[in-house]
Amino acid sequence: MTQRLFWLRLAAIFIAPGLAVPLAALAIAAPADPLKSPMWENHAAWLFGKQTVVFDPAVQVLMPDVTENQRIFPVTVDARALSGVQRIVVLMDLNPLPVAIDYRPEGALGYVSLRIKLDQRTPVRAAVLTADGVWHVAGRWIDAAGGGCSAPPVSRVKGDWAQHLGELRGRLWREAEDQRLRVLVRHPMDTGMVDNIAAYNLETMTVRSADGVMLGTMTINGSVSEDPAFTVLLPKETKGAVAVHLADTNGRTFDGKVSAP
Amino acid sequence: MILSRRGALGLLAAAPLALPAATWPTGADAETFAGRYAIVPQPIGDGIWLVRGADEAIAFENGGAIANAVILACPEGGAVLFDCGPSFNYARALAGEAERLTHGRVRRVFISHLHPDHALGLAAFDPAIVSALPATRADLLRDANGFSDAMYRILADWMRGTSVAQPGVIVEPGRLTVGGRALTAMAMAGHSGGDLVLVDEASGTVLAGDLVFHDRAPATPHADLALWHKSLDTLAALPRRQLVPGHGPLDTDGSAIAQTRDWLDWLDTALHAAVAQGMDMTEAGQMPIPEKFASVKMARYELQRSVAHFYARIEDATLPRIDG
C-alpha cells in the first residue's frame, strides 16, 4: 500500500500530467492482491470503494481440489470466526458475471454454501463485511475449462426446465451450534450469454422464522449454477418452521416452508 | 457438447511412464514442450505385455499416460493392442514397441471404452483395424470432440497431431481370433455405457478395462453403479490366471475386483449419508476416507470427482419437497 502510493507519487512527479491522472485514478483503498489477479483493482474499486480491505485467513473458503464440472462448482464460505458479519460476497474475478451472491446473514451465522459457474481459470474469493466496516477477503485460484457461463444449461438442452421451474426441496437439521438449512431450487439460471436464450435467473432469496423474523437475505446472480443449492446456518434457538421466499428476474416468486428439525 | 466437456474433465485422472519435459531452465514466459512417452512393456505371460499407466490424474507432467495398455503377440506375426492411450504420439510409441516385440505390424486395436486416457490415441491407426463396442462408438461420436478440447487444454504439446477419429470396426461379443491369437470379447457396462472385456486364452488373462481399478481409486464420470456391480460379478466368475485392470498393477489373486466393488459400495453409502446429514458438496468431498483404502491412490481426488457426478442427483431423489 505504502509502496504503491510511493510509486504513484513518483509517477505523478515524473510523468506528464496527462499520463499521471489515469494512474492516480486507480488508487484504491484495497491492498495489493496476493493472488495477483488482473481484475483485482477494478473489482475492489466498485465493490469496496474506500472501505478498508484486509486479506484475512479467518475467512475460510472451502472448495474442491479438482474442478470436475465448471458449470457446478461448489463453494462454502465459513466466516464464523469473525464477529458481526454483515455481508458475504462471493467473487470470481475473471467471470463475465463476477459476483455470484451477496448474502446478508441478518439473524443467521456467517456461513453459506452455494454452487457457481466458472467461465475460465479465475480467483474465487469471499469478501466478508463486518460491523466495523472492514472487508475480510480470502480465496484462491481455481483452474477450470471454459464455458461455465456460456454453454446452455442441461435443462434447456433436455427441454424440461419449464416443467420443473421453481420446484423446491429442503430440510432443517439440528446441530450442536446451529440449525442447518439446505434449500434446492430448480431454475435454469440463464446467464444471457448463450445464443437466443435471454438472461433469466433467481435474483433474491429470503429466509424468515415462523414468527416472521428475518434470518437472512441473499442477492443472486446468473453466475450461480443451474438448479441452485444453498446451505445457511440459522441460530440454534430458531423455533418452528422456516419460510423460504425466492424471486426471479421475470417476477416469478417461489415459496417454501421447511419443517422444524 | 456441454455434457462431453464435463465428462472429459471428469476423466482427467493419472502417470508414471511419461518422461518429464525439458529439463533446461524455463523462464516465466518460456514455452514448455512435451517430453517423450517412455513405453515400458512388462512381460506378463506368453506373448503378452502390460504397459502401465501412471496412477495419477491426467496432467502435463505425465503426458496423460495414466491408463494401462496391453500388447499381445499374434502366432502368425504382428500384434494386438488393448487400448492405445491419450494421444497420437503415445499410440505411435506404443505401436512402435509392439512392432519391435512381435516383429510385425499392429493387426488390431481394441478400445475398451470411450474415455480419452484409453481411446484418443486411436487416430494413429487406420480405422479399419480399430475395434470397439457399438455403445463405445456412439459414446465417442457424442463426446470425443469435447474430450479432445479438454485434453489439449491440459496436455498441450503432448497432444500434437492428435485428431478425433472413430473406430472402424464393431466388436461382436464372442470368440474371435486375430493373427491366430484366440480371444473372447465380452460386452459389459457400468463404468461407462460400453465396457469391452477381452479374455486371452493363451495366457489366461482377463483384460478388464476400467471396470476394474487396482490400488487406484475408480473414476465415475459415466458410471452406472448397479450395472457396474453386475459386470464385477460376471468378471469375478470368469476362470482366469490373472487380470489386467484399467488402472493400477496386475492382479493375480482377484483382490482388484473385490477392492473396486468395496470402493463403489462405500462411495454410494457415504454419499447418501452425507446428503442425509445436510452436507454440501464441498463438505462431502472432505469426508474421511476409510483406513482400508490407505493403499488406494488418488482416493481424495476421485471422491471429489464422484461427489460432482452423483451428489445433486442423490439430493434430488432424497430431500423432501418444501413448496407445498
Integer Cα distance of B174 and B76 in angstroms: 21
CB contact under 8 A, A68 and B308: yes
Across the interface, of A76, A244, A258, the residue whose CB is closest to B282 is A76
Burial B90-115 (b: 16+ CB within 10 A, else e): bbbbbbebbeebbeeebbbbbbbbbb
User: CA of B79 to nearest chain A CA: how many angstroms apart?
Assistant: 36
| Beta-ladder partners of A74 | A115
pLDDT in tens, A66-76: 999 999 999 99
What number of other Cβ atoms are within 10 A of residue B135's Cβ? 18
Q: Using an 8 Å Cβ cutoff, are B129 and B111 in contact?
A: no
Specify if A83 maps to a domain: yes
Is the interface score ipTM higher than 0.90? Answer: no
Which residues of chain A are under the pLDDT cut of 70? Answer: 1-29
Q: Which domain holds residue A157?
A: 49-258
Integer Cα distance of B259 and B152 in angstroms: 32
Nearest chain A Cα to B308, which residue?
A68
Specify if A74 maps to a domain: yes
- Chain A partners of B308 at a C-beta cutoff of 8 Å? 64, 68-69, 72
Per-residue pLDDT of chain B in tens (324 residues, 90 and over written 9): 333 443 444 444 433 344 444 444 444 455 678 889 999 999 999 999 999 999 999 999 999 999 999 999 999 999 999 999 999 999 999 999 999 999 999 999 999 999 999 999 999 999 999 999 999 999 999 999 999 999 999 999 999 999 999 999 999 999 999 999 999 999 999 999 999 999 999 999 999 999 999 999 999 999 999 999 999 999 999 999 999 999 999 999 999 999 999 999 999 999 999 999 999 999 999 999 999 999 999 999 999 999 999 999 999 999 999 998
Give the domain CATH number at A223: 2.60.40.10
- Interface residues on A facing B, Cβ-Cβ cutoff 8 A: 62-72, 74-76, 113, 115, 145, 147, 151-152, 154, 157, 166-171, 173, 180, 182-184, 227, 229, 231, 244, 254-258
Specify if A38 maps to a domain: no
Predicted TM-score of the model (pTM)? 0.89
Would an 8 Å CB–CB cutoff place B22 in contact with chain A? no
Q: How would you class B295 by CB atoms within 10 Å of its CB: exposed for 0-12, middle for 13-18, buried for 19 or more?
A: exposed
CB contact under 8 A, A63 and B300: no
Specify if A28 maps to a domain: no
Specify if A118 maps to a domain: yes
User: CA of B316 to nearest chain A CA: how many angstroms apart?
Assistant: 8
Specify if A175 maps to a domain: yes
Across the interface, of B9, B280, B324, the residue whose CB is closest to A145 is B9
CB contact under 8 A, A169 and B320: yes
Specify if A171 maps to a domain: yes
CB contact under 8 A, A113 and B282: yes
Q: Which CATH number fits domain B2-254: 3.60.15.10, 3.40.630.10, 3.40.50.1000, 3.90.226.10?
A: 3.60.15.10
- Chain B partners of A243 at a C-beta cutoff of 8 Å? none
| Beta-ladder partners of B244 | B207
Every domain of chain B and the residues it spans: 2-254
Domain count, chain A: 1
Specify if A16 maps to a domain: no
